[in-house]
A and B are shown apart, each in its own frame.
Chain A
Amino acid sequence: MSWIDIGHIDDIPLRGARLVKTPVGCVAIFRTAEAEVFAASNACPHKAGPLSEGIVHGQKVTCPLHNWVFDLNTGEAQGADEGRIATFPVRLEGERILLDGVAVGKRSAA
């Protein structure tokens, strides 16, 4: 892994999300609680709805276009819908958010 500092925890509103552009496409960073973050692909597998614009509840997000719900731990669609979004390692170090660069296609630092 190669942890990349992508910003401060307060750059993301509580129960909100922000985008990070990466070589594998847009990754949404979700803040589900004061000190709890998840990273997942921004595109809904249904019709590519922008998940970073969805309502974040518990450790889940609801797609803003047709209300598919995804568990941010596993990326699995919940209930009757079938599909999965990619999830990426992300963690907090103090108040900084670190995203795994390798997982999002960044070549690791030499």
Chain B
Amino acid sequence: MTKKLIVIGAGMASGRMLEHLIDAAPGAYEITLFNAEPRGNYNRLMLSPVLSGEKTYEEIVTHDAAWYEERGVTCRFGEKVVAIDTEKKVVTGENGALPYDKLVIATGSNPFIIPLPGHDLEGVIPYRDLEDTEAMMALGAGKRAVVIGGGLLGLEAAAGMAARGTEVDVVHIMGHLMERQLDEAAGYLLRKSLVDKGIRIHCKANSKQILSDGNGHVRALQLDDGTELPCDLLVMAVGIRPSTALGKEAGLEVNRGIVVDDHMVTSNPDVLALGECVEHAGAIFGLVAPLYDQAKVLAKTLLGEEARFVQKEVATKLKVTGCDLFSAGDFAEGEGREDIVFRDPARGVYKRLILEGNRLIGAVMYGDTADGAWFHGLIKDASDVEEMRETLIFGPAYQGGAAADPMAAVAALPRDAEICGCNGVCKGQIEDAINAGAGDLGAVRAKTKASASCGTCTGLVEQILGATLGDDFVIPAAQSICGCTDLSHEDVRQLIKSQELKSQEAVWQELGWTTRNGCHVCRPAVNFYLLADWPLDYVDDPQSRFVNERNHANIQKDGTYSVMPRMWGGMTTPQELMAIAQAAEKYGATVKVTGGQRIDLLGVKKEDLPAIWHDLNQAGMVSGHAYTKGLRTVKTCVGSEWCRFGTQDSTGLGIALERRLWGSWTPHKVKLGVSGCPRNCAEATCKDVGIVCVDSGFQIGVAGAAGMDVKETERLVDVRTEEEAIEWTVAFVQLYREHAKYLDRPYKWVAKVGLDWVKETLADAAERQALVERFDISQSVYQKDPWAERAKPEVARRFHPLADLTLEAAE
């Protein structure tokens, strides 16, 4: 008599298993197949192309009615199995019981639904089967959907709905999309492609609750920060849980999944299992490749043949047209690893290989994944790649050839990319001029005016000359920022503006950085450029700052810190002095009067910083930013208020300037001075901006220095009123913020662009006004006391050790 085989679940794993079993030994078993879904086996992966309209359901059916009939498989579709009795060897379906000799459990997994308030509203669905897909397809144009989860499934759902004209928001809790398969760089490119498709992406977003329309249907998703995203359908794609309930009730060994051995046999010798419902050697599964291996092994086991399931590295691809990504192996955690990075901004390509010793252990790619299979092979086979290390990243076709082109980033720019900000000249105009005969920098300047004003974009113009003329033009070697790029500071600044690069990842990718996230030389510079040009879009990254700016205190040579409160224009009060004295005593600080007209508390321990700041805040004092590339001090004399020579209120003007400028980040430190008469007691004429008061008004000088170089200021302008003096000063500082190279003091920058250009630019009243407005916008974000923020307990915690393992736990 043929033995009876019952299979629970007609999914991808069991479908493949039945093919192997029946091919190898037709008639070995009398097979009954239960499936909760009212249909047989279809290619679940292909639901996404069905959703987007690239395929129909009929095209993705793997086994139709005829297939089952020809092979004598009894189908009980649309019938859920509700119990298994392993003692009597009977399975109970919704429509009755049936005995078995061998049983295969292939129940797959259940989508995880976050138990947010409102998760049981109508219109809240997972993404798992045809019904879910049809619900999404039914939306169409003019409707809105929210997808929670920026992983593989969530993004396929989002892209599929967007392709049908639905407006889609994706809410993702992590910092970048598909964080388990992609690194930040590839996540950036993926996000960009999806945004291009009209999908709105919200990363680092926490869902709070699902709101109802009052009739039991979903109306919107509310985030932690109060934002409401209206929607007609909410799709949760936040992960899966192996479907183990049946197995558990039947008394099988179950951890996260139903436990199987290498032969796919559960803790009961007559019960086998495979697919997403199982756990093998501690691992559970979410992609089909290993399930197909399991199917082969299980079929053999059923036929009494020896076979063992071995886990292999799996690779991920996303099935969204236009988002070509690939990830395989391990690209995080671990010792002894090395990266190889390749970027081609022109084609939107990013590739990163992770090596351990002589072996490739991981690969992440975006934009060009043609070599994915080859890399995946090298990973799976643990091949020795030492020989081809240098050219490995170029793939199998290039073994032995080609290196990266240093001019790629500039060559990749579109023709309408603005190269010269002063004169509004685009790349196309420069190319045209070159093609019309302008063969060197001078000729291009004469024809187009590009780089003819402040000259900052000279490097870019030269690169365009090089790219257009090829070997006929030798590009003078400009100083690149560091080993991560061939571009100079000036090039990068200009491109951040004209290409609207608003994140670090955008800079790394679009400008072809050769490292994952820069180094200690370029990252602080890029961080400054981004926040100076895009104050409302870019968020300052403390991890891209040197220690003093991150901890908001000056690290001293013994690892302690100095703390210096602001004293506006060098003025203080008895109350402030008492608070300073008390703080000094409480935290054991040394007290020094500085050259910047204020008081320094030296020798404070890192752990004490939040507390001393809190104390000084209580007395009304804020950080003096004595450690930043930003406004330091405004030194003043006593002026007309007290001095018999005083012509104007120099102290008042100094205080007004300090109150306007404090908190702003600048390319390097900025110090001001205001003297009440030409006797110049505040030494204003060696400052970055120095104002000398005279009877007729104010003489504003800029670009002084009193450090390694000593230099007198040069006269920018004479103005009559205090308001004008403030306006010109603010405009000058903003022009410096927008144009100077990181770590150039104003006197160095002015020497490069020329005082005449600075004067000319600022003489234009409209331009001056625009600069002041941009400065004020930036101040609306950055004029905050960093001490007050860091003295808050949740932030202050970070100043303490993460853990103390020197204490022995009580026995």
| A residues apposed to B, CB below 8 Å | 4, 6-7, 11-16, 18-23, 26, 29, 33-38, 48-50, 53-60, 62, 64-65, 67, 69, 73-74, 87, 89, 91-92, 99, 101, 104, 106
Which of B154-162, B329-337, B566-574, B712-720 faces chain A? B329-337
Q: How near does chain B come to A110, taking the closest CB pair, in angstroms?
A: 9
B333 with A92: CB separation less than 8 A: yes
Chain B residues touching A, majority SS:
loop
> Closest 9 A-B residue pairs measured CB to CB?
A62-B520, A18-B802, A15-B543, A53-B547, A64-B547, A6-B803, A55-B520, A19-B801, A21-B804
- Contact stretch, chosen from B104-112, B188-196, B254-262, B510-518: B510-518
Question: A78 to B494, alpha carbons, bound, how many Å?
Answer: 32
Which residues from chain A contact B543 at a C-beta distance below 8 Å? 13-16, 55-56
- Chain B residues near A106 (CB, 8 Å)? 805
- Residues B547 and A69 in contact, CB atoms below 8 Å apart: no
Smallest Cβ distance from A99 to chain B, in angstroms? Answer: 8
Whether B542 is near chain A, meaning CB under 8 Å from some CB there, is yes
Contacts of B559 in A (CB 8 A): 48-50
Nearest opposing residue in chain B for A36, CB measure: B332
Q: Which residue of B lies closest to A107 (CB)?
A: B808
- One of B184, B524, B805 near A21 (C-beta < 8 A): B805
Report the Cα distance A53→B176, complex, angstroms.
25
* Per-position 1/0 for B218-261, Cβ under 8 A of A: 00000000000000000000000000000000000000000000
**B532-559 interface code vs A (CB 8 A; 1 in, 0 out):** 0000000001111111001100010101
Within 8 A of A (CB), among B783-811: 798, 801-806
Q: With A and B bound together, what is the CA distance between A73 and B176 in angstroms? A: 25
- Having A21-B806, A22-B806, A57-B516, one finds 7 other A-B pairs with CB under 8 Å, namely A4-B805, A36-B334, A53-B547, A54-B547, A59-B337, A62-B520, A87-B335
- Asked if residues A64 and B546 are in contact (CB atoms below 8 Å), the reply is yes
In the complex, are the beta carbons of B802 and A15 less than 8 A apart? no
| Residues in chain B near residue A50, CB distance under 8 A | 547, 555, 559
Q: Are B801 and A18 interface neighbours, CB within 8 A? A: yes
Closest chain-A Cβ to B46's Cβ sits at a distance in Å of 30
Chain B: number of interface residues, binned into ranges: 35 or more
Question: What CA separation (Å) do A67 and B519 show in the bound complex?
Answer: 11
Contact of A57 with B523 in the complex, beta carbons under 8 Å: yes
Nearest neighbor of B504 in chain A, beta-carbon distance: A15
A88 smallest CB distance to B (angstroms): 10
Q: List 5 A-B contacts (CB under 8 A).
A: A15-B543, A20-B805, A23-B806, A34-B175, A89-B335
Instruction: Determine the distance from Cα of A104 to Cα of B803 in the docked complex, in whole angstroms.
Output: 13
Task: Assess whether B801 is in contact with A20, with CB atoms less than 8 Å apart.
Answer: yes
Cα distance, A34 to B806, chains bound together (Å): 28
**Interface residue? B130 (CB, 8 A):** no
Cα distance A6–B179 in the bound complex, in angstroms: 23
B339 interface residue, CB < 8 Å from A? yes
Q: How far is the CB of A8 from chain B (nearest CB, A)?
A: 9
Q: How far is the CB of A37 from chain B (nearest CB, A)?
A: 7
Q: Is the CB of A33 within 8 A of B332?
A: yes
The answer to whether B515 and A55 have CB atoms under 8 Å apart is no
Q: Which residues of A contact B184 (CB under 8 A)?
A: 33-34
Task: Give the residue of B336, B339, B546, B804 whose beta carbon is less than 8 angstroms from that of A58.
Answer: B339
> Is A20's CB under 8 angstroms from B547's CB?
no
A58 B515 Cβ-Cβ under 8 A: yes
Q: Does B411 contact A (CB under 8 A)?
A: no
B506 at the interface (CB under 8 A from A): no
Q: Is the CB of A55 within 8 A of B546?
A: yes
A109 (CB) vs chain B CBs: closest residue: B809
Whole-angstrom distance between the Cβ of A102 and the nearest chain B Cβ: 11
Are the CB atoms of A58 and B516 closer together than 8 Å? yes
CB proximity of A10 to chain B, nearest CB, Å? 10
From known contacts A33-B183, A73-B335, A92-B333, infer whether A55 and B805 are also in contact, taking CB-CB under 8 Å: no
- A53 contacts B803, C-beta separation under 8 Å: no
A104 lies within 8 A of B805 (CB): yes
Name the distance in Å between B522's Cβ and chain A's nearest Cβ: 9
Contact: B802 with A11, CB < 8 Å? yes
| B23 within 8 Å of A (CB atoms) | no
Whose C-beta in chain A lies nearest to the C-beta of B802? A18
Which of A14, A64, A74 sits near B336, CB closer than 8 Å? A74
Q: CA of A91 to CA of B516 in the docked complex: distance in angstroms?
A: 21
Q: Which chain B residues lie closer than 8 Å to A99 at the CB level? A: 803, 805
How far apart are B553's CB and chain A's nearest CB, in angstroms? Answer: 11
Interface residue B174 (Cβ < 8 Å from any Cβ of A) = yes
| B651 CB, nearest partner CB in chain A, Å | 37
The answer, among A18, A55, A73, A87, for a CB contact under 8 Å with B544, is A55
